[in-house]
Chain A
């Protein structure tokens, strides 16, 4: 029987391996190569082009657009932190009423794709939008501030991405031993000083992790910025792809975008250091005594209500309203069952293959620490930084010129999803695996099982929660994905996302409402599963949720 050697040579779960190179490493290198492939191809493409890539990259216009992107990323990230940190604290450490409700409310905006958020903003807030009509009717106000451009893009993306900060911050706050804060109070610090010098520094890794996710999501967002007409780098690349015959321009711009994204990722890795591998304290810390809000209760309640209303209730409400109105009027509601089934199928296949690729990488990362496995893991993590549009472009080139047999098939699209969402799955599995005592696997070896059998009969069942959480996350992300689906979808392949996009782009908002509602609901199922799994967003699950 083939044997994947898995001696876990560790003394304190501190994971040292003597075994050097194993077949598992080979699989891992394959996965890493898959992720690196698009970048390599973009580089080749850019530097073998007829026109000078350097000219294009160094144009003043490129710099302008890049600055616009960075400005948006900065605003959205700052906004998300400003919303998420108080939300996390209020829902966990105070006597605010209905805390669980607000918690769920602060996670669910993840389910809403940015292009749906943007289209809701357009129909609600644009000149002659719903709000304008209402204000006109009530107060005779004829003009409201323009939603388009930077303000609209910032608003929509902040409201949809703050959960990326909320989830890890809340989990970290929950894990934090309140004794530390009590100690600070005991040493004579006021509550503000305590937050400033104890709580905040302890939360910083979580904030930083969430901020990076928000930043990367914003940087690679295509749907919202296009609909809200804020010209970012991703938009520029799509325009180049969509209109220009010389695609090396798009390739060159993609490389710049990848570089920026990797810069953000590198900042995160540098700031987190070993913290990435920490194992959360086992056992429950004593629940802290909730802070009594007193008179602050009302402003606090207003704050969480407004956030939830804007980020969740308004989008759901408006989409539902348009959907119901469309159905009631007997209009063609634009729900294509093939697109629906395509969405589900793509999500399912992406979840499956991403998981298959993630398991070996996660095992390598946790059980076979070493230079090779570290490189493999880092490479696999690049997917976080790779904008969907860059991966899609690279795969189009690769598909036409190298992978000809799978060009224009779902296989290539699934490959793109795997590359993009691999980190989410690895993160979830790795977090689960870190909770598994390596002695357990060693005990199984001692009882006569080969390493492969151990993976099958012991490791996999124990990390199954992480595997499933990762798969659910990938499913959700795939359902929401737009640019790669637009570019790589084979002939006649439509999903809910591409349908909605098509309708909104043509300004057929009424037609987009029903598919949008269906998409949100079906993407909500795996999210509900994740929420149910860690009913209170408990510490063990936090790392998975972080990976979304």
Chain B
């Protein structure tokens, strides 16, 4: 049999060959090959985590595979994947994400657990904090001064804030703060607060960073965010950046201090080695210097301008009680904050 167009035949043959090869490559890439590999699902963003991972790979010789996503999406994925998950550990932005998958988590051995202070870990030892962050109100310094701001987050339900508030309601830390409100204030008061803010028509941002940027731009006057985003902007753009953090002095849920943390899914993986690395002086210094977060071990110097955790007015709640994200999300949906 003769093919009239040998060129064509060659093209198609090559294409088919490529197809077969690429399928086999694609299928081959999913296996866990050895215990010297660590698969992490990270709700913390790549720009913050990547340098520390590189360093860990360098120091430990362990091959790290990481999947980035939002804390919520990854927690939902983990729940869906169940036993079939390739993940060895979960690096969450907030206690809510870790609480949601607590049934999948294995207790961390006590000597690793003790690396972090007691307030920053779960009492049952299923997860451990790796860095601290305070909830703050970021405000525009051209339009406002500290005196204009209320002492409690409740104050922002006043109609005078109409159109002046920015928030990222899909953010895990924000939702953890709302969980804190439910814990401290109860459901009804929390709902009233949400309704009050919604009545002020807050501008919705996808994340903390754009919220802070919008405050500095004067699109809105205040924003409910974590403390460290401001410091990243200040470092990049200088002191002229027209926004500052305001730590609510009432010590209510608006000034809760949260942690990013990790939980172990596969105990046979080198997950604890990574946890120890995260809580080492080197990593903690990195968090303090590069991400402007609060270190959780002693002897690490903070960046200037960031108050110590112990000096902050904050509510006396156990962070691990902030795990009930599901009902918080339901409340946010009911209030029309989330779609």
Contacts and interface: CB of A to CB of B under 8 A. Distances in A.
Interface stretch (A190-198, A315-323, A499-507): A499-507
A242 B73 contact: yes
A161 to B, nearest CB: 23
Nearest to B175: A243
B112 interface: no
A242 B339 contact: no
A410 B29 contact: yes
Given A241-B73, A352-B18, A410 B217 contact: no
A240 B333 CA distance: 10
Nearest to A499: B46
Contact of B207 (A61, A345, A453, A505): A505
A253 B339 CA distance: 10
A405 interface: yes
B26 A244 contact: no
Nearest to B70: A242
Contacts of A400: 77, 80-81, 84
Interface centre among A61, A126, A491, A492 (most CB of B within 10 A): A491
B25 to A, nearest CB: 8
Contacts of A508: 47
Given A405-B30, A406-B30, A491-B65, A231 B218 contact: no
Nearest to B219: A127
Contacts of B84: 400, 404, 407
B166 to A, nearest CB: 10
A247 B26 contact: no
Interface string A412-447: 001000000000000000000000000000000000
Contact of A352 (B3, B19, B30, B336): B19
A407 B30 contact: yes
B225 to A, nearest CB: 13
B66 A491 contact: yes
A242 B170 contact: yes
B311 interface: no
Contacts of A303: none
Contacts of A146: 219
A263 interface: no
Contacts of B119: none
Interface string B57-89: 000000001111110110111011100101000
Interface string A512-534: 00000000000000000000000
Contacts of B170: 239, 242-243
Contact of B45 (A457, A460, A502): A502
Nearest to A59: B333
B235 interface: no
Interface centre among B100, B172, B333 (most CB of A within 10 A): B333
A537 B90 CA distance: 52
B325 interface: yes
Contacts of A325: none
A374 interface: no
Interface in B77-115: 77, 79-81, 84, 86, 100
Contact of B206 (A226, A244, A396, A414): A226
A129 to B, nearest CB: 9
Contacts of B18: 352
Contacts, number: 137
A408 interface: yes
Interface residues of B, number: 58
Given A246-B326, A464-B8, A507-B213, A408 B86 contact: yes
A130 interface: no
B29 A490 contact: yes
Given A408-B86, A457-B5, A353 B19 contact: yes
B80 A349 contact: no
Contacts of B185: none
A460 B8 contact: yes
A409 B30 contact: yes
Nearest to A60: B336
A245 B75 contact: yes
B210 interface: yes
B22 interface: yes
A336 to B, nearest CB: 10
A236 interface: yes
Main secondary structure of the interface of B (DSSP, over half): helix
Contacts of A226: 206
B209 A457 contact: no
B203 interface: yes
Interface in B219-240: 219
A245 B22 contact: no
Contacts of B12: 460
B4 interface: yes
Interface in B159-213: 170, 172, 175, 203-207, 209-210, 213
A352 B15 contact: yes
A163 to B, nearest CB: 28
Interface in A68-125: none
Contact of B76 (A247, A405, A408, A492): A247
A189 interface: no
A247 B80 contact: yes
A507 B69 CA distance: 17
A414 B29 CA distance: 14
A244 B333 CA distance: 10
Given A126-B217, A127-B219, A491-B67, A397 B80 contact: yes
A297 interface: no
B136 to A, nearest CB: 18
Given A241-B73, A405-B27, A507-B210, A65 B339 contact: yes
A461 B8 CA distance: 7
A242 B3 contact: no
Nearest to A509: B213
Contact of A461 (B5, B25, B217, B333): B5
Interface string A262-296: 00000000000000000000000000000000000
Contacts of A127: 217-219
A244 B72 contact: yes
Most buried by B among A146, A226, A408: A408
B123 to A, nearest CB: 22
A409 B80 contact: no
A229 B204 contact: yes
Given A231-B339, A400-B77, 11 more contacts: A126-B217, A242-B69, A349-B19, A352-B19, A408-B86, A410-B22, A410-B25, A464-B8, A490-B30, A491-B66, A507-B210
8 contacts: A239-B338, A245-B329, A345-B22, A400-B77, A406-B27, A490-B30, A507-B210, A507-B213
Interface of A: 61-62, 65, 126-128, 146, 148, 226, 229, 231, 235-236, 239-247, 253, 345, 349, 352-353, 356, 396-397, 400-401, 404-411, 414, 453, 456-457, 460-461, 464, 490-492, 502, 505-508
